[in-house]
Amino acid sequence: KQTLLPLLKEEISSFIFPCKLAVQRPERQHMVMELLRCIPLLLFLLFVCGLDHFIFTILSVIQNHSFIEYSYQTSHHLSVNVMGTSLMAQLLRGTIGALNTSFDTEVETSNLACLPRPTGMTGQQYLNTCLPLGALAVLCLAQVYPFRLRRAIAAFYFPKREKARVLFLYNKLLRQRKNFLDLQRGRVARQARQPPTLGTVLLRWCHRHCPWLRRCLRQKCTLCGTPETPQHQPCPNPECFALYCESCW
């Protein structure tokens, strides 16, 4: 409850507010880890698509530049002429004349049946391949909102456990603030014991003798470093030039 224990600026970043639409710091760390787990899948998908395109390019080059066509033509003519009118000549013409042949041969063939016929993937097929990974990345970004319902569901079914968790968180914040206050007191004390630098001395002199320069030379909170505003409180010790914002004060 804000009225019970208002959070400081340093504490806001460590809590998750369910009503805020923006992704908050604790959720961002978990979301980044989930997105990092998608990188191996993305690299594998890029490798597979690149290998597919590389193989398709090689097969296309083979198909376009390795086509060979053969054309074979031959002619055969055999003619035996026996001259004369004798009985032997007539007998030879009757026997050897049967050997007279004549034929032409023409053969055309190619290696078209042996060539590859690759089919490349279309842009739509590449898109359909990448859609599951894109949906996984979107789920990694959107899962922070359903995760915020876990506390509400657990509080509904286990109200006593929820009360114990709230008390534990309240006491934890009180301990952290006490330790933080002790640490900051020690830091401010060590900083006060150090001699001021030349820039700090000039800034103090300008603030003391030139009030009209305060808008240009604004101081910062000694603890959180926020720029000076009208709500900032100076240290009541006149010898101390420390300035504190409203929450740190």
Three-state secondary structure readout of the chain: CCCCCCCCHHHHCCCCCCCCCCCCHHHHHHHHHHHHHHHHHHHHHHHHHHHHHHHHHHHHHHHHHCCCEEEEEEEEEECCCCCCCCHHHHHHHHHHHHHCEEEEEEEEEECHHHCCCCCCCCHHHHHHHHHHHHHHHHHHHHCHHHHCHHHHHHHHHCHHHHHHHHHHHHHHHHHHHHHHHHHHHHHHHHHHHCCCCHHHHHHHHHHHHCHHHCCCCCCECCCCCCECCCCCEECCCCCCCCEECCCCC
Which pLDDT value is given to residue 134? 92
Which pLDDT value is given to residue 193? 75
**For 142-163, how does the pLDDT look when each residue is reduced to its tens digit (9 = 90+)?**
898 999 999 889 999 999 999 9
Most confident of the following: 18-22, 54-58, 187-191: 54-58
Closest of 31, 14, 2, 58 to residue 172, by C-alpha: 14
Prediction pTM value? 0.58
Region 35-47: mean pLDDT is: 93
Which pLDDT value is given to residue 9? 74
**For 161-216, how does the pLDDT look when each residue is reduced to its tens digit (9 = 90+)?**
999 998 998 899 888 888 887 887 887 778 777 776 666 666 666 666 566 555 55
pLDDT band at 56 (very low <50, low <70, confident <90, very high): very high
Closest of 63, 68, 99, 64 to residue 81, by C-alpha: 99
pLDDT band at 91 (very low <50, low <70, confident <90, very high): confident
Which pLDDT value is given to residue 26? 87
Q: Name the average pLDDT for the chain.
A: 82
Region 229-247: mean pLDDT is: 74
Q: Say yes or no to pLDDT of 109 above 90.
A: no
Which pLDDT value is given to residue 218? 66
Q: Say yes or no to pLDDT of 244 above 70.
A: yes
Which pLDDT value is given to residue 36? 92
Report the percent of the chain where pLDDT is more than 90: 23
Higher pLDDT, 210 or 125: 125
Assess contact for 155 and 186: CB atoms under 8 A: no
